[in-house]
Structure 1
């Protein structure tokens, strides 16, 4: 499984304060919504991966200098 919750923590820690706050709220929302999914970093973007050998990333989010992307 690519990445981990610790890698996502490190990724979010590097963001600007307002982005960090917005993406932490989004991360918490996805975690509640996607029970049984795993946090990952894929294509340099934090997200949530389906469980199982063929699990796919079902939600991703990332902050850029001037915008956020879902």
Structure 2
């Protein structure tokens, strides 16, 4: 009768990366963030005060983060 819509599945995270919700101050260069259906690697960061960060990516516009964000940290950074 009704067909359920399937949500598009998210691609797997980069090999071995662990998902975790992090505050802006705990995000590191080298972490990955899922944006526009792709995992983007944080290439650089800028501080916007005590509780905000601007994440800079090689292939995406910068992202200002002011709340907890799900990031994926590769094993090399753990």
User: TM-score normalised to the size of structure 2?
Assistant: 0.24
* Greater Rg over alpha carbons, structure: 2
Structure 1 length as normaliser, TM-score? 0.25
Higher helix share: 1
